[in-house]
Amino acid sequence: MRKGQIRKAISGFYYVYVDGQTFQTRGRGNFRVKNMSPLVGDYVDFESDNKTEGILIDIYPRKNELIRPTVANIDYGIIVMSAVEPDFSSYLVDRFLVYLEDKRIKPIIYVTKMDLLDEKTTAEMKAFKIYYESIGYKMILSDYPASETSLNTLIQVIGKGAAVFMGQSGAGKSTLLNQLMPELELETGEISTALGRGRHTTRHVELHPIGDALIADTPGFSTIDLVDIEEADLPSLFPDFVALRDECRFSGCMHINEPNCRIKAAVETGEIAKYRYDHYLQFYEEINTRKPMYVKKKK
């Protein structure tokens, strides 16, 4: 029996990497009995007499697990956003940031198509960068196609970690990966004029070694659900709030209607960006009003 990592999954086959070799495997039937499904990124035990007929035996505990994309044990989430066509959305950035914070995955914000902006909108984008980096996030502004410098910066930040691409459809996730690893020749899609977003072009999840990093190319999607996030946990997913929350009058302050709230005061003075607080209120309302999910009991 050997230990390896699933780097690709297609049509019921799991491709396990170990010691510079890849083994094609299938899962055991008891995974279905246990309601377990191997994911790309999983560390597994497997048996194999050759490279094409292996069997997965067991899955090691995961440090995290994503549904969109379906991948496990991720260190970094690369939020790929377009500066224009489609337009940059701080709401969507913050939505992904909250999602990644909840999964304990470190975000990297990567903005494409900077060369299409005029002087005024370039200054606005740089202001976003200054704020996001002031609260602990890395934000890389690139031209389009990406310059060698910005790509090198991205790889240096990831280091030896595993990363997923996520963010706006049409922002250039597959294009970026093609630039990082041209031999992949991943299909890319044009922007739909009618819908203002790109077609989904990636058909499966795969971890690709790039330098010391592992990067998964994943289908583009325009938003994510916050179904796993509870109302009481939301304030802790905003690092700019966390830095000041101990100065609120009440312990467990939700920063909405409570008196002497340090967060609301910081929004008034500009210490916390108003758009961040507005997005917080939108997420809070969404979580607060969602319908409870009921699980049907087995007979």
| Known binding-site residue numbers for Zn(2+) | 248, 253, 255, 261
Structure tokens at 261: 């709230």
Structure tokens at 232: 């009481």
Structure tokens at 146: 């990406």
Tell me the residue type at 68: R
Q: Locate all alpha helices (DSSP H) within 135-169, ordered by sequence.
A: 148-158
List the binding residues: 112-115, 167-175, 248, 253, 255, 261
The DSSP line for 206-265 is EEEEETTEEEEE----S----TT--GGGGGGG-HHHHTTGGGSSSTT--SSS-TT-HHHH
Gap between the Cα atoms of 88 and 170, Å rounded: 12
Q: Please, are residues 192 and 199 in contact by the beta-carbon 8 Å criterion?
A: yes
Structure tokens at 297: 């009991």
Long-range CB contacts for residues 15-23, cutoff 8 Å, separation at least 24: 16/44, 16/46, 16/54, 16/56, 21/51, 22/51, 23/48, 23/51, 23/52, 23/54
For the chain, the residue count is 299
List the binding residues for GTP: 112-115, 167-175
